[in-house]
Chain A
Amino acid sequence: MAIAKLFIANRGEIAVRIIHAAQKLGITTIQAYSEADADMMAVRMADASVCIGPAPAKDSYLNIEKVVAAAKDAEADAVHPGYGFLAESPDFARAVVDAGMIFVGPSADTIERMGDKVSARQAAQAAGVPVVPGSKDRIESVDDAARIAAEVGYPVMVKAAAGGGGRGIRIANTEEELRTLAPQAQAEATAAFGDGGLYVERSIQSPRHIEVQIVGDGSRAVHFFERECSLQRRRQKVWEEAGAECLDDATRDHLCQTAVALAEAVNYCGAGTLEYLYDDKTKEFFFIEMNTRIQVEHPVTEMITGYDLVQEMLLVCGGAPLSMSQSDIKKTGHAIEVRLNAEDPFMQFLPFPGTVERLQIPEGAGIRFDHFMYEGYQIPPFYDSLIGKLIVHGTDRADAIAKIAAALNDLEIGGLKTTAPLHQALAADAEVASGNFHTQWLEPWLAAGNLTPENL
């Protein structure tokens, strides 16, 4: 049954994005909003809108009962969760289905399975996806730790099996270090958790973050190539690219094919992303987790492949088989997305929720701006600071960097502090141009004073 009436259980730019996709498919849209979001752009665009509660997300966008009841009352036949909020809640997916509606995403069971680190790792291994090599079970003795470490290769990370919160974690570069550090880790684990069991795994130093976009219809799955999102601050991606130039063709093929195998093994329906750490030196990649939803950075993949991933999600979740085969999906050029947050990059990224006084959006071939602003719009302080995503498509990576620099120059968001200056500095940086970075690169770069009002 194709989706006819879609309830959007999200806000901000992704709600706008979903409405655009639904409208192109002729689907009627009903937008959920909190009391703080009555004037947001998605409310203005949707065919109808429903207030689901007060400003705090726990009373509105995170309240499963209220969201499901509002969707049901609006006679929606499907619910799109977007990203964040309830997008990866198996309870929400189950409640939507129990109320007789389609959840635009995989089944609650799949969300649950891939959301659990241990079962996701098992599913990945079963599908032939490499995971970070480590001990299969808990280790009780230092000799056992040394034996496993020799198998997985140094440097290794020694963790408390009962752990959490970073306590009891040690990194050993040699067996000698391991024999010194493991007893310390064991003592700390015993003190903190009353359990001296250890876990040993390979420590991936300065990895890159690589991810593969997949879409499945419940039986068949395809990939839309990879993205690189290594430029991160506080584990939040700030700048994303498609594809990842650090990969050679053989590695890329292996990465994408095993991602499809995993998606098919779990009967995946909808759009999803498999995230990996990639070690430049050894060319090894290791599965870390699967995100069972559309991601913030999906537009870079759309730019290089020409597919509308949100439309594809709506089609397959409405029961249609995938409309394309793997060989139909080609990529051209290189795409970059930068996340614009309402934050002051010169003041420790302090949030800056203000009023959009002036808005000038860059236009042209290969330029896209996904956002939810209009002049006079007051950005509410209650939610995420993401206000827009500037995306460009270039003939190659150098062209894409030149395009993002030019587009950032043409972008004007008056009345707010935004992270645009950070992206201008990154676009002008020689190491960014050479692609020589990893997930631990941006924070030291910032700490070293590479971003000041003077050097822009």
Chain B
Amino acid sequence: MAQVLSPLPGTFYEKPSPEAEPFKTAGDQVAVGDVVGLIEVMKTFIEVKSEIAGTFTRYEAADACPVSAGQILAQVES
């Protein structure tokens, strides 16, 4: 099991927009560079990209909630 960590403090989003589906759901394949979430930091949205390849397991951080830098956002089975 490997983790996707938040590169910055801010607000984490699992979806590209409130109405959209999450970037990944359990069982999805994850490639290196795949976007798995967004971090809103100081009114700027930054894509969180996976540095690992594998199978998406689950989000660890709640959607639209504050996260700190280095916090675990998601689990990926590598």
A366→B46 CA distance, assembly (Å): 39
Binds B, one of A275-283, A312-320, A378-386: A378-386
Interface SS of chain A:
loop
Q: Smallest distance from the beta carbon of B40 to chain A beta carbons, Å?
A: 8
Tally of A interface residues using CB under 8 Å: 13
Q: Do the beta carbons of A381 and B9 come within 8 Å of each other? A: yes
Q: Do the beta carbons of B9 and A353 come within 8 Å of each other? A: yes
What 1/0 flags go to B3-26 for Cβ under 8 Å of A? 000001111000000000000000
What 1/0 flags go to A235-268 for Cβ under 8 Å of B? 0000000000000000000000000000000000
Interface residue from A55, A56, A343, A351 paired with B8 (Cβ < 8 Å)? A351
**Across-interface contacts of B46 in A (CB, < 8 A):** 350-351
**Across-interface contacts of A351 in B (CB, < 8 A):** 8, 41-44, 46
A residues 54-72 in Cβ contact with B at 8 Å: 55-56
A351→B7 CA distance, assembly (Å): 12
**Across-interface contacts of B64 in A (CB, < 8 A):** 56
B residues 27-60 in Cβ contact with A at 8 Å: 41-44, 46
A36-B66, A55-B66 given; A385·B43 CB < 8 A:
yes
A427: Cβ under 8 A from any B Cβ: no
A87: Cβ under 8 A from any B Cβ: no
**Across-interface contacts of A353 in B (CB, < 8 A):** 8-10, 41-42
A343→B41 CA distance, assembly (Å): 11
Q: Do the beta carbons of B42 and A384 come within 8 Å of each other? A: yes
Q: Smallest distance from the beta carbon of B35 to chain A beta carbons, Å?
A: 17
A383 closest partner in B (C-beta)? B42
B9 closest partner in A (C-beta)? A381
A342: Cβ under 8 A from any B Cβ: yes
Q: Give residues in B with beta carbon < 8 Å to A.
A: 8-11, 41-44, 46, 64, 66
Q: Give residues in A with beta carbon < 8 Å to B.
A: 36, 55-56, 342-343, 350-351, 353, 381-385
Please give 17 more A-B residue pairs, beta carbons under 8 A apart, in addition to A351-B41, A351-B43, A381-B8.
Answer: A55-B66, A342-B42, A350-B46, A351-B8, A351-B44, A351-B46, A353-B8, A353-B41, A381-B9, A381-B10, A382-B42, A382-B66, A383-B42, A384-B42, A384-B43, A385-B43, A385-B44
